[in-house]
């Protein structure tokens, strides 16, 4: 997913769950946010935005929102056919884990402290200096309100940091309806 405020959520609130995140979580889809300001890591997102603009939004004038919804349904179906998407089989028996994933690059800590940091939902997470300039997988586990910062060197993901990452109270209340 793109890191635009429309997807990521509040530009001022701390650790809020956006409407877009709720939309996906309710449908048992884990939102994965791309690395901000790194176009090479967002090629599929930018490509999809371009296709949407050229072949849907800029192609015609719509009379009303019902017409947009009707045409969008056709556009989405043809897009899924084009890429060969198939829904996974229902009822795998596994319980869906409520989580959100952020791909981030560890940057120098701008507050003059030694080490690096990643920025998530208006919260700065300090990371050891040996990870500066590397990309990490930050997994926010919503039931436990923990953030696991992980990296893959060789083999499976390795957890390099685990911190409490409490959900904003208003988001928590809304999240209880999903769980």
Indicate the pLDDT class of residue 41, thresholds 50, 70 and 90: low
What domain range is 72 assigned to?
39-83
Tell me the Ramachandran region of residue 105: left when phi exceeds 0, alpha when psi lies from -120 to 50, beta otherwise.
beta
Same structural domain, 29 and 48: no
* 93 domain-assigned: no
Is the pLDDT at 110 greater than 70, yes or no?
no
Same structural domain, 25 and 104: yes
Please indicate, yes or no, whether the overall pTM of this predicted structure exceeds 0.85. Answer: no
Same structural domain, 135 and 77: no
Distances (CA, A) of 132 to 23, 53, 70: 33, 36, 47
- Distance in angstroms (rounded) separating the CA atoms of residues 11 and 84: 36
Q: How many percent of the chain have pLDDT more than 70? A: 88
For strands 123-127 and 116-120, give the pairing.
Answer: antiparallel
CB atoms within 10 A of CB 172: 15
Same structural domain, 63 and 107: no
Same structural domain, 70 and 140: no
Same structural domain, 50 and 33: no
Same structural domain, 119 and 155: yes
Indicate the pLDDT class of residue 138, thresholds 50, 70 and 90: very high
Question: What domain count does the chain have?
Answer: 2
Question: Once rounded to an integer, what is the mean pLDDT over residues 81-96?
Answer: 73
Same structural domain, 145 and 155: yes
Q: Which two tokens stand for residue 66?
A: 């019902």
Same structural domain, 157 and 117: yes
* 149 domain-assigned: yes
* 88 domain-assigned: no
- Distance in angstroms (rounded) separating the CA atoms of residues 170 and 13: 10
- Tens-digit pLDDT profile for residues 112-135: 667 899 999 999 999 999 999 999
| Domain termination residue (choose one: 83, 114, 148) | 83
* 166 domain-assigned: yes
């Amino acid at each position: 997913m793109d890191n635009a405020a429309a997807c990521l959520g509040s530009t001022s609130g701390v650790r809020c769950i956006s409407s877009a995140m709720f939309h996906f979580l309710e449908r048992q889809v884990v939102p994965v946010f791309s690395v901000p300001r790194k176009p090479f890591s967002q090629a599929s997102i930018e490509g999809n935005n371009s296709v949407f603009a050229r072949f849907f939004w800029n192609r015609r004038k719509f009379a009303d929102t019902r017409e947009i919804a009707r045409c969008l349904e056709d556009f989405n179906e043809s897009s899924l056919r084009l890429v060969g998407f198939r829904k996974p089989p229902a009822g795998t028996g596994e319980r869906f884990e409520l989580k959100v994933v952020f791909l981030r690059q560890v940057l120098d800590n701008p507050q003059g402290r030694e080490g690096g940091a990643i920025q998530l939902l208006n919260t700065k997470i300090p990371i050891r200096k040996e990870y500066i300039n590397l990309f990490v997988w930050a997994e926010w586990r919503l039931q436990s309100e923990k953030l696991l910062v992980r990296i893959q060197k060789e083999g499976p993901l390795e957890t390099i940091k685990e911190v409490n990452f409490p959900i904003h109270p208003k988001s928590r209340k809304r999240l209880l309806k999903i769980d």
